[in-house]
Structure 1
Amino acid sequence: MSTPQFAVSAAALAVFQAFAMPATAAEQAMTEVIVSGSRIASAHASVAGFGDAPLLQTPASVSVLSSQQMYDRDIRSTTDAARYDASISDAYNAVGYAEQFSIRGFKLDNASSYRKDGLAIPGDTQIPLENKERIEVLKGLGGLQAGLAAPGGIVNYATKRPTTGALRSVLLEVRERGTVYGAVDLGGRFEDSRFGYRVNAAAERLRSYIKGADGNRKFVSAAVDWQISPQALLQIDADYQTKSQVSAPGFQLIGGTDLPRVAADTMLNNQPWSKPVETTSSNLGVRFEYRFSPEWKATFSANQHHFKRDDYTAFPYGCSAQNLFPGFCSNGDYDVYDYVSLGEKKSPLAAQAMLQGRFATGALRHEFTGGASFYKNSEKWGDDVYEYIEQPSNIYHPVAVQPSGLSSGPVTERRSDNERALFAQDIVGLSETLKLHAGVRYAQVKRDEFVRAGFANAKIDSGFWLPNVALVYSPQDKLALYGSYAQGLEHGGIAPKKTSNQNRALDPSKSKQLEVGVKSELTPDLSVSAALFQIRKGLEYTDDTSNTFVRNGVEQHRGLELAINGKLSRALAVGASAAALNTQQSGTGRAELDGKRVTNVAAFKSTVYADYAVPQLAGLKLNANWQYSGKKAFDKENTLMVPAYHVVNLGAAYATRIAGTATTLRAHVDNAFDKFYWRDVTPDLGGYLFPGAKRTFRVSAQFDL
């Protein structure tokens, strides 16, 4: 069955099921589903602690995007969501490959920085949002909460759970270049109300703004709850996704010095033998909660993830004619490599057990959390093909070249990780206005890594203490000021291709963070926040002299984040964030590096979103989003700065009834003024540039049955 047929069939099934219910069920209070409430943004998140904590009292910078906001803004991927937070940027986010991001200027770790319900999952393919209730972003170190994670922060995806009342929702969308999307969301309780269910399904025919980067995606998930007793709750969820899409490589500098002048839809992976990148991913999650009393509870959660990828790419790199590596030739020629890596697999298993409670010791009030976590992962792949093709192609005049005809080698385990940790945190109420957050995690990290034939395997077995301490001062109920100190831990970066130690991971390293911030709820519907921070970690780069990937010197990021979210009036809702970053490399002993800016990090970014309910026509809303990014350094020596850019997105939504069914019609135009810009300036693989999407129109219809 083709993807469009799958989407339409899934939608039809949802409609049929909704209307084919017994009359007794239809007579219940479920004639329509209305999303209401004064808040347009979540006031709670779990990503910055060990529970669903109020954001106002959380001593960290956190942003939350709810499922309703994702509907209103037509968000289909994390890439779409990232445009609403100035602290998040693309980091080798190639169309058709894996969505990859940075937070506060630090690239996230695909193995540990992405979380599903607090447990690590790999970010090696598009993480589906159809079964996600919200996206939570912790900006800054998450050593206490997560153990291993990049210092920039953590992205946590909270899974949708069964609804109390019946939910039947269908969503259909079409984009101008032929992308067709369909999704269904079903939820409710069984006849025995102790049991609840949530089912999500989606299918998508992908037609990218880049010519030829086409494909398809299919997704299905289910979640069930069982209220075993008033004290005991069991939750189980599972999902499965397949995605097939031709990937779009980035561009290198012309002559090794100048930015290319190309159309945003130019495709370099356009050989007759180019094939889609094929990925499958799945999750099986379980969570059990038992309440001993109103003050004490225990929880256990686990998630098993499976990931498989077949990667085919006609990959552009360098110019042999001018001995440029990296860099394209002055006339636009570039070398073509036949890249094939089949059967790549990852199978991470994560689990966590916690005991949480409240108690008092004299005048001091305590909120205690203690627990243990476990993580293991096996990575398997074969020796890939990265074969140089004698004939070059050209970015302006593509040339068909012959493939190598080779295939990657047998798949074996190449890397295994094991992390065991104990953690504890106590939030002590020192007075009515002052709280002390004190916590520590001890992480035992093991890694076995196959280097290459003839060499001994690399082994790591080390323990790390990760302290975290913060003070929160609340002089008023709706105002909080905080200061914090934290240490984080991350696996070392993996040496890229063409280096002397390629595919070898560096040892784990620690990072340190100082942060002060203020948060306020100006009204029940409007919140503001500001955070000032400094993060320091070891600098990792490819040493040009030895052609070796090394950790040497210090990478320091100092920044200021500002955010406002909520309603300015009954008709006008806003969301705005800004991030100013000063990044600096130091301590390398190399004049061409020390004192220079970190690559692919803008000194200033901002994003503003506004949604206006037109009073003259009930149900009509107009919205707009304006993004700005300052210039970025292309290389670690800062010899080239990539220009700043502005992007404007416009939209409208109209809520009405069609044949008695609650219906929301939406229309959006992304990059409304069709501006060309370089959205991603990654240093990976010698340095690549990725253009932003051209102007794109899309329309959708949501039916709540």
Structure 2
Amino acid sequence: MIAVLCAADPANAWDPQATPTDVTLETLTVEGQAGPRGVVPPYAGGQVAQGGRLGLLGNTETAKSPFSISSYTDTFVRDRQASTVSEALALDPSVRATQTTGAPFDSLSVRGFPMSEGISGEIAFDGVYGIAPTFRVFADYAERIEVLKGPSAGLSGMPPNGGIGGVINVVPKRAGEDLTRVTLDYGSLARGGGQIDFARRGGEGREWGVRFVGSLHRGDTPIDRQAETTGVGALALDYQGERFRAWLYLLAQTNQFRAPLRPFLLKAGVPVPKAPDGRLNLTQPWESGTVDDHGGLLRLEYDLTDTTTLFADIGGSQTSVSRIFASAPTITNAQGDTTTNPQFYGLESSRFTADGGLRTGFDTGPIHHAVAVQASYYREEIGRWLSPMRSSYRSNIYNPVLVPPLAVPVTGARPRFFDSTLTGVTVADTMSALNERILLTAGVRRQTVEAHNYAVNVPVITTSYNKSAVTPFVGLVLRPWDNVSVYGNYIEGLSRGDFAPAVATNSGTALAPYVARQVELGVKVDWGSVSTNLAAFRITKPSGELGPDRVYAQTGEQQIDGLELTLYGEVIPGIRALGGVTFFDGTLTRTVTAANIGHKPIGVPGVQVNFGGEWDIPGVPGLTLDGAVVHTGRQYLDAANLQAVPDWTRFDLGARYATLIGGHRTVFRANVINVANAKYWTGVASYGTFFQAAPRTYLLSMSVDL
């Protein structure tokens, strides 16, 4: 649904040779691989890029962006040994994972709003929804992982699942300099595997490129009775001609879990019990799940003139799910007793996406215009079977019990459950003057949402939806000095309105799309080798509620005020820092339950701290130590603010050693996640579920560039 600015555009023509030196061994310098054309180069320290993608506006320098964006590099992801996008974002102060390691899905919140686990993928792939896997996105094929913070319907289109806190985008790996890298890794308890990363360019002008990334991992995790198998294959082909450019991405991955962790529900009126040891696992060894994903994207660009480019994207994906386990065990008392109802869940989904448009630039007197026009189409069809809950078992979070396999009916049927069609047209113009000292971006998108819901396990339409909305956006950047940018923006987010439930007098009525609104002011300062961003924002989002007259209407609203400070770069030679802090003031501003007005929204903490540092040890070339702290404030599980999980803090440590072995660059990495083996409840999802934290986990790896 989104297109990216091509490398021919001056704002996107990043120098692939700008990648900094990776390691110095006395008088020998070992160069890192130069990035592929069109990928934003890293900032000082190599952990964060100098800019990122602003939806249809394309790649934009951080200093010239009227929005907050962070773009994490492949180097940072590999050094943290992050296997998924969720793990790779552990040091972003605006992001929090609401699941834990050992869960069969990733669920995140951005700026206090959930990108919920669901049947519609919320993560974009090279700027396009509908390509990335649905439940977990692995980091193997990511060159950059970008977070565009705040609602962005005008820039990026409506996310398929309606998340409004921000956009997470995976920039896929593609061929830059020639590369053959082999990585072997091992994690506690007994899970290991390997990855191969291969890239070549050819042709008279090196216009042809190929990149392949493949990995396989399997074994027991540090969680009791749990085992996981993952396989990833990603192929990127590209052609970079004088005026014509093309990229083809093919992606496949499988994820199999035995005894996956599940989120907990807490019975009303029950106080939150103390969190158990992270190794304990309530899930039975006969409960399991398998998710297979396949996707592909073709991207085309053609320069009509030096200032006008046509672009088009076409692609899609398929997801297949088969699993037997409970959605969420319920904790029934303060002693940690639980009731679990396992079910069979089978799902088949298919997505198709296409977009096209043009970008052009021209001057009107002293003002330069960069205009983008785009039309997009997204289609999703989902078939699902959910077995009835015929049996259950009892257990305890502190003393899990093993029970024989329960009779859970399994079928290959996948009757239609849901379908939706999203169409939109966007027009945007970035106006700049005084040598880009002043930049004003304005645009508008018209989005139409058509959807059908079907009865459970029966392909009969129960409710239909066909609504449209117009979402404007505007952003201003003032640059009084080269290294200082003062910015502000107003932008809206869009979510599909709910259907009135069966108990409502207007049952089946479709509410209008929920329009979230953000106002943000901030200042960005580049101190030379350290960059900081201080942002103050307010986001309001309406919601549907069942009133005392049993009419379902858009009467609820929550507001989150935030103050966000981020920092990254090389503080002094050999010492790097990354992270920040976000303070939240969340409030239920409107609700039919008058007693809840002024309460904290579910899952919104008062503070989030994510901060990491690296230190190159003097006198030992190639040796680096790193550490990180992650803290989350108290979070409520209910709108009445009667149940809350306590605040928590986690510490991570790591080390790596880069050297030459037989003339080949080799890097050894060791990380310990949750060093103190802290026991806590992790992030709270919007519907009040929560996970136990993962135990102390050891990660080891060795990578060799052949």
Name the TM-score class by shorter chain: 0.7 to 0.9
- Residues 1:202 and 2:211 aligned together: no
Paired residue for 2:653? Answer: 650
1:524-583 CA-partner distances (Å, limit 9, x unpaired): x22111111111111357x69999997531111110111111111111111121111111
Contact 1:48 1:60 in 2 (8 A): no
Alpha-carbon distance in structure 2 between the residues aligned to 1:196 and 1:35? 15
Q: Give 1:47 deviation, angstroms.
A: 3.7
2:571 aligned with 1:568: yes
Per-residue CA deviations over 1:241-267 (Å, capped at 9, x if unaligned) read 111013212334487223145221221
Percent of residue pairs bearing the same amino acid type: 23
Instruction: Tell whether the 8 Å contact from 1:268 to 1:316 is kept in structure 2 after alignment.
Output: no
| Cα 1:645/1:603, change in 2 over 3 Å | same
The equivalences for 1:196-595 within 5 A come to 196-227=209-240, 229-246=241-258, 247-253=260-266, 256-270=270-284, 273-274=286-287, 276-314=288-326, 317-318=329-330, 327-329=331-333, 331-342=335-346, 344-389=347-392, 392-395=394-397, 396-401=399-404, 403-408=406-411, 410-432=413-435, 433-451=437-455, 457-492=462-497, 508-523=513-528, 525-539=529-543, 552-595=555-598
Distance 1:454 1:191, change over 3 A: closer
Q: Which moved more, 1:578-587 or 1:246-255?
A: 246-255
Q: CA deviation digits over 1:175-223, x for unaligned, max 9?
A: 1211103111100113553321001000111533321231200111111
Give, as a single letter, the amino acid of the residue that structure 2 aligns with 1:393: S
Distance in 2 separating the partners of 1:608 and 1:330: 34
Mark the CA change 1:263 to 1:168 in structure 2 (over 3 Å): closer, same or farther.
same
Matched, 1:114 2:123: yes
- Contact 2:273 2:336 (8 Å CA) reproduced: no
* Structure 2 CA distance for partners of 1:296 and 1:499, relative to 1, 3 Å: same
> What amino acid is the match of 2:323?
D
Counterparts in 2 of 1:315 and 1:148: CA distance versus 1, 3 Å? closer
Q: How do residues 171-182 of structure 1 correspond to structure 2 at under 5 angstroms? A: 171-182=183-194
Letter in 1 for 2:257: Q
Shift of 1:641: 2.4
Check 1:129–1:496 CA distance in 2 against 1; reply closer, same or farther (3 A cut).
farther
Q: Say which SS state the counterpart of residue 527 (structure 1) adopts.
A: strand
1:387 counterpart SS class = coil
Contact 2:275–2:679 at 8 Å: present in 1 too? no
Distance 1:285 1:222 in 2: 11
**Mapped contact 1:281–1:307 kept (Cα < 8 A):** yes
Aligned to 2:3: none
Distance in 2, Cα, partners of 1:447 & 1:498? 21
**Any conservation in 1 of the 2:276–2:692 contact (CA below 8 Å)?**
no
Q: Give yes or no for contact 1:316–1:335 (8 Å, CA) kept in 2.
A: no
- Residue 700 of structure 2 aligns to a residue in which SS? strand
Q: TM-score, normalised by structure 2?
A: 0.87
2:145 corresponds to 1:135: yes
The 3-state SS of whatever aligns with 1:97 is: coil
Do structure 1's residue 126 and structure 2's residue 136 form an aligned pair?
A: yes
Of the structure 1 ranges 650-659 and 184-193, higher mean CA displacement relative to structure 2 is found in: 184-193
Give the alignment's TM-score, normalised by structure 1.
0.87
1:112-141 deviations in Å (ceiling 9; x for gaps): 631001111366321122111100001101
How far apart are residue 402 of structure 1 and its match? Answer: 5.2
Q: CA deviation at 1:397?
A: 4.6
Q: Distance in 2 between matches of 1:503 and 1:201?
A: 46
Structure 2 letter corresponding to 1:338: P
The answer to whether the 8 A contact 2:384-2:417 is kept is yes
Q: Which residue is 1:5 aligned to?
A: none
Please give the per-residue CA displacement for 1:492-521, whole angstroms capped at 9, x wherever unaligned: 468999999999996531111111111121
Shifted more, 603-612 versus 260-269: the winner is 260-269
Tell me how far 1:683 sits from its aligned partner.
4.7
C-alpha separation between the residues in 2 aligned to 1:494 and 1:68?
A: 45
- Provide the aligned length of Structure 1 versus Structure 2: 657
1:75 alignment counterpart: 82
Give me the CA root mean square deviation.
2.9
Matched, 1:596 2:587: no
**Correspondence 1:145 to 2:145:** no
Q: Could you give the per-residue CA deviations for residues 291-335 of structure 1, whole angstroms, max 9, x where no partner exists?
A: 2233221211222111110121045644xxxxxxxx424554322
Q: 1:34 aligns with which of 32, 37, 42?
A: 32
State whether structure 2 residue 97 is matched by structure 1 residue 90: yes
What is the SS of the residue equivalent to 2:277? Answer: coil
Give the equivalent residue in structure 2 for 1:28.
Answer: none
In 2, Cα distance between equivalents of 1:499 and 1:315: 26
Report the alpha carbon displacement of residue 32 of structure 1 after superposing the two structures with TM: 7.2
Question: Displacement of 1:367 after TM fit?
Answer: 1.0
| Residue matched to 1:15 | none
Equivalent residue of 2:451, what SS? Answer: strand
> Matches of 2:198 and 2:239 in 1, distance apart?
17
In structure 2, what is the Cα distance between the partners aligned to 1:654 and 1:373?
A: 47
**Cα contact 1:381–1:411 (8 A) shared by 2:** yes
1:635 matched residue in structure 2:
638
Contact 1:253 1:260 in 2 (8 A): no
- AA matched with 1:693: A
8 A Cα contact 1:531 1:560, kept in partner: yes
Distance 1:578 1:261, change over 3 A: closer
Distance (Å, rounded) in 2 between the aligned partners of 1:96 and 1:667: 23
| Aligned residues of 1:393 and 1:400 also touching (Cα < 8 A) | no
Q: Which amino acid aligns with 2:86?
A: T
* Helix, strand or coil at the partner of 1:568: strand
Q: Give the letter for the 2:515 counterpart.
A: K
